[in-house]
Structure formats: structure tokens, C-alpha cells
Amino acid sequence: MAVDRRGFLKFVAGVSAGVMVTPIPWKLLDDASIWTQNWPWIPSNVDGATSYVSTVSKLCPSCVGMKVRLVGDRPVRILPDENHPLSKGGISPLAVAEAQMLYSPARVKRPLKRAADGAYVAISWEEADALLAEKLGAAKGSIACVSGDETGSINEVLSSLAVQAGSGNFYLMPTEAQPAAKALAAMGGKGQLGYDIENSDYVLAIGANVLETWGPVISTRAAYKAARPHGEDPAVQFVFAGPVQNSTAAGADQWVPIKAGTEGVFALGIAHLLIKAGATADAADFSAFKSLAEAYTPAKVAEITGTNADQLKAVAAALLKARTPLVVCGSDFGQGTGAGTVMAGIAVNMLLGGLNRKGGLKLLPVAEPVVSSAMSRAEMMDKDFVSYMSRINAGKEKAPKAMVFYEANPAYALPQATKMSEVLGQVSFKVTFTTFLDETAMLCDLVLPVPMGLERLDDVATPYGYGQALYCLARPVAPMPASVKPAGDYIVALAGKLGCSLGVSSWEEVLQAKAKAMDADWDSLMDGNVFTSDATVSANLSFAADLLAKSVNVKAQEGNFAVAPVFKLGIGTAKTAIPPYNNKLIRRWELQGNELYVAMNGATARKLGVMMHDKIVISNKSGSINARVNIFEGIMNDTITVLMGLGHTAFDQFSKGKGENVMQLLTVGFEAGTGLSVWNMAGVTISKA
């Protein structure tokens, strides 16, 4: 039978009708939509067994303990570690970002050398080795080393190198540990200051932003949390005195506004009231201190600090009433404070009988160096990098021929950052061991990539402020990229090439010796356990009243307004800039696009004749920054707050060019008596842009 046109159309109609009751169109539609999810450029999970490894963060300044969740050999998530004393079930936003930071676009992937035209060229490690040995060999006798790692044994390796191949110029990037060490030494103490916040029933933080930036923040937050169970009366009172209602003030029971840089005076005001109430201390120069404190009457303290005399009296009375009160003195933004401030804080603790007692101020033992010729902790703490740079700038000291940076970013993170970069320019050869292409790396002749904390073996010894002697290891939990080298082993080998004898043959040997010196068990540490000790160093501290009298004086500042930098743990440090995932932590009126917002209260805004969102220029002799105005009432009069950690000129697209670097405004001064560099007070003038 021939198929005519009509028959064919009937057949097609039959096929069409039939197809509609088969899976063909529906299944194809469904599969086509699934197929679009499998395009090869769409990222997909890589399977593997899940495991957890306990370690400690070398990126977060609070040295938080953490559990890393691995899928196969890849870290995918950072979790809190309940068993780590520096974590206790808490975690910091910086540590959380660490797994992502392994893939940061700012990571240095291979050794880089600055070419004649100023551009960076990738070189092999062999070329880098040869160049480094040649340059450092030529600079022998004039080498300075700068470390940005405050708690690691790498400092012993670097300081030994500086001593043997240089002129003893080893410096730590400035933190609060140095003024604290200086204060303790001046008062005749040994070891390291530890604040037993965990066992205190009344914590007075003068300046020290204990819940955000001061000391081992996450462990302090854990203590805060444990003492204040939800729905129950707080077992511990927290009081914060400072210019800004920061995170600590927000969590505290009481915020006592005082001007930035007047923390020491406030502490002496407390001492005055305590002595008046009969407090005493067993120190040779108590009477000298008593007469010093005599002058700091509530009225005088109120005048200098801008606080209310009644509030001061109430705080002193509460301290006297508490069983285990503790006073923590420091800087609002974790640096730049003077030794005088810390000394005043120690003095108050002495009057409260809080020395080496539970819930008090402890003098913790510090292990002896394990590397030949390495500086002791006390010697390291005595070295003042900002002061050294200032001396070079003033021509009082020759710039070294070579500078070695280890995870340090002075070109961004020092006060008067631009000036400091210029001083660095006087050094003819600079090399940095860094994970990220930061501002300092951009100034260096040679950039050597080092693994991140998750990829290397490293250590943490008692972070400043923690209440117990502690030692733990950061263990390599992720495979190290082929083109980076761990700095510990590299510098040990480099020292050998330069003819220096460090007395150790490998980095692991350094750590093993350090563990032994701390009385810790190496195998247990390698299993992820943390060594802690309740040991304290006994001491008869003096008040160092003469020195305190000189150092605690508040100098008049330039301009009519004060700058109070605000440091937040999530925003990033000089070492990390802002982890991309943490950009969401920046609030709406802290940064808009690339424009920085600074905050002031309504009275200050009226005085300046500005309104919310107005453009202003904040300047002083150190520099100037442009910003817009945000109004926030939790700030003292005549004070503006500026978020730290912004205004990077290096790193990646998530940090570079966003906002301004407040360090530009912080002017270095020198503390009377101790000679320590300080920059916790900055006066500025403000004008409408």
C-alpha cells in the first residue's frame, strides 16, 4: 500500500501523540536541565574521607586553637576546638578564614626577584639561594632581621642569625608584649605577664580591648561566656574604660569613657582611691608610690581623662569589694601603648594583692633559648623596632645593608607608615619570607614564599596576656605547595651557608629542644595536645615610682581632636589583610565602595559643622586621610574612631585600595623615662572636604 500525503500526516500525528505519552520529551527536558549543572567549568566537590586535626592558628593574633576538618588531604573548614585552652569552643573569624586563605589570590607562589626595571620576575629557588647567599654574605656585619611572629621559636633562629651574621639587630613587630615586658623589667620582675581572667570575679580593662584584640581574645571570650550563663546573673563583672564603645565595652557591665592614651592616669586614680581606703603593698618604694598616687585625685583624673569622678570612685569601690579583682591595662587597638600605662596597671594589681594569686596577675616562666647565640625573650622584648627606624631616619644610626623580614609587614603596619617605607628604602637589600604579597614584599628585592600555618610545623609559646605558661604546635595539616619552602629549615640552612652556627641542624630539632625547655612532651604535642603549666616566677616587685611618675604624664596633642583606632579581629591584620570571606564583616557605615567612614558622636559633628555622610579630611603632621562621617554616640567628645586594617596598597582585589590606613595618622613619640616609642595618642585637625 502506497503511503500518500494524507497517510504520512496521519502517521506523524500518531507519532506525535505517542511520543507525548512516552518518557522521551519529559526525560530529555529533565536530563538537559541536569546536564547544564555538569558543565566542566562549574566547580564540584571532590570526595574523600573526613578527618579532624587539632592545631593552632599562626595567622590569628589571638593564637586560637582550632580543629581543621579535612576531606582527603584538603582542609575545608576550620572549627572551634573545645579541648584547646586558647579556644575552648570558640573560634576567631581570622582563623575560620584560614582554610580559604590557602587559595588567596595574594599568595606568593614562587620566589620573586625585583628586576632592573622594577618589575618582579619569577625565579627558581636555586637562583634565589645564590642571590641571597651573595647579598647577605656581602652585608655580613650589617644585617637586621624583623619578625612578625611574636610567639614562635623562629625568633630564636632569626635572632641568632642577626647576632652572628649581623650586629644583633633583631626586632619583633611592635605589639603590647613589649611595653608589658619593659614595665615588668622596670619593676624588678622576671618572666612574662599573665592575666588570669578565667578565675577573676571582677575584670577592669583599662584601654585593653580584652574581648576583641588584647591578648588571647578567644580564650578570654570563653572565660566571659562561662562566667555569664544565659538567663542567669553574671558571676563576673566586666568593666571597660576607653574612648570608644568597642566590642569589650559592648559586652561589659559598665563602660567608663576615658580619652585615648590616659589609661595610666585612670589607673593611678584608682590606686589613689585604693590607698585611701587602706590598700597597701609589700614593696620597698610603696611610700614613694603613695605620694605619687596622692596627686591623682578623682578631680584631677577626671580632668585629664575626661571621665566622671563618681564613676571612678564606684569602680574603685567595686574593686575593693571583689574577691579576685584583676586590672588589665593596655591599648585600645593592641599596640603603641607606653610602659607607664602597664606599670600603673601592675601597681593597681599589687595594691589589690593580686600578684601571683588565682584570678590575679601572674609572672609566668619563660623558657631559655635553645638556639646558639639566640636572644632571650627578655632581650627580644627590649628591642624597639620603631625606635630603631626613627634613629635611622634621624641619621643617628646607619641603615643596615640588608634587612630580612619574616611574616612582617612594617611598610603597612608601623605608625607613620609612609615615612617608615621611606626609611626602608635606605636599606640596599631587602628580602622577605612571606605568604602574601604585602606592602613590604612590594618594597623588597627578593620575595620568598613560605607555607601558611596550616601547611607547616610551627609553635606557639605563651601568648602575651594568657594566664598560664603554655606551649603547643601548629602541625602541617594541608599539603604544602611545591614551590614554597618552610622558613625554619631554610633559614637554618642559610645560616650555615653564611658561616653561622646555630647549634641545630633542622627546624624540627629547634622545636623539640623548645618543647624540652618548656618541660613539654614532644610526642604528646605532636598528637595535638597542649602543654600548660601553673608555675609562676616569684618576685618582689617594686612600684618603680620614679619612672612611673615620668612615664605616665600625658602630653598635649596636636589639633583639637583625637583619633581612636578601632581594631577588629575579623578585618585582618598586617599579615593577612581582609580575608575575602570576611568582607561581609565590614559594616555599612565603615566602608562604602572604596570610601572610608569614620565615626564621631553628635556633639563632635555639630562642633565641626558636619553631618552624616559628609566628606572630611583628617590630618596631622604625619599624614592625612579622606573619609566620610558616620554618627555613633558610643564615642567620647572630640574623638573620632577609624577602623584599622583598611587602606592596603598591596594584597588582592578584596583589600587593595579599600579605605585608608589609620597608621598614617599615628605619630610616634617617645615615652619619658623609658624611652619607649609610643603612638597610642594622635591629635588631628579635621576639615570639611
Positions that interact with another protein (CB under 8 A): 3, 6-8, 10-19, 21-24, 27-28, 31-32, 34-35, 37-38, 44-45, 47, 49-50, 52
Q: How far is the CB of 495 from another protein (least distance, A)?
A: 39
Residues 522, 264 contacting (CB under 8 angstroms): no
Residue closer to another protein (CB basis): 55 or 674: 55
Residue closer to another protein (CB basis): 3 or 119: 3
Residue 14 — φ and ψ, nearest 5°?
-65, -45
Q: How far is the CB of 94 from another protein (least distance, A)?
A: 24
CB atoms within 10 A of CB 262: 26
Number of Cα atoms under 13 Å in the Cβ half of residue 437: 20
Residue closer to another protein (CB basis): 13 or 226: 13
Q: How far is the CB of 88 from another protein (least distance, A)?
A: 19
Residues 304, 554 contacting (CB under 8 angstroms): yes
Residues 596, 625 contacting (CB under 8 angstroms): yes
Residue closer to another protein (CB basis): 23 or 118: 23
Residue closer to another protein (CB basis): 55 or 468: 55
Q: How far is the CB of 54 from another protein (least distance, A)?
A: 13
Residue closer to another protein (CB basis): 23 or 395: 23
Residue closer to another protein (CB basis): 76 or 288: 76
Residues 207, 223 contacting (CB under 8 angstroms): no
In the numeric block, the cell 641542624 is attached to 505
Q: How far is the CB of 11 from another protein (least distance, A)?
A: 4
Q: Determine the Cα–Cα distance for residues 662 and 443; give it in Å rounded to an integer.
A: 20
Q: Determine the Cα–Cα distance for residues 224 and 203; give it in Å rounded to an integer.
A: 10
Q: Determine the Cα–Cα distance for residues 457 and 152; give it in Å rounded to an integer.
A: 11
Residues 6+ apart with CB under 8 A from 285: 542, 543, 544, 545, 546
Residue closer to another protein (CB basis): 73 or 519: 73
In the numeric block, the cell 637562583 is attached to 127
Q: How far is the CB of 44 from another protein (least distance, A)?
A: 5
Q: How far is the CB of 33 from another protein (least distance, A)?
A: 9
Task: Tell me the CA distances in angstroms from 478 to 61, 68, 522, one per residue in order.
Answer: 21, 10, 21
Which cell numbers hold the place of 612? Answer: 552624616
Which cell numbers hold the place of 132? Answer: 641571597
Q: How far is the CB of 14 from another protein (least distance, A)?
A: 2
- Dmax (CA) for the chain in angstroms is 127
Q: How far is the CB of 582 from another protein (least distance, A)?
A: 20
Q: How far is the CB of 39 from another protein (least distance, A)?
A: 11
Q: What angle do CA 416, 112, 455 make, to 5 degrees?
A: 90
Collapsed DSSP state (helix, strand, coil) of residue 609: coil
Residue closer to another protein (CB basis): 477 or 599: 477
Q: Determine the Cα–Cα distance for residues 328 and 348; give it in Å rounded to an integer.
A: 9
Residues 6+ apart with CB under 8 A from 61: 94, 150, 175, 213, 334, 569, 573
Q: Determine the Cα–Cα distance for residues 487 and 407; give it in Å rounded to an integer.
A: 10
Residue closer to another protein (CB basis): 76 or 309: 76
- CA 374 vs. chain centroid, Å, equals 24
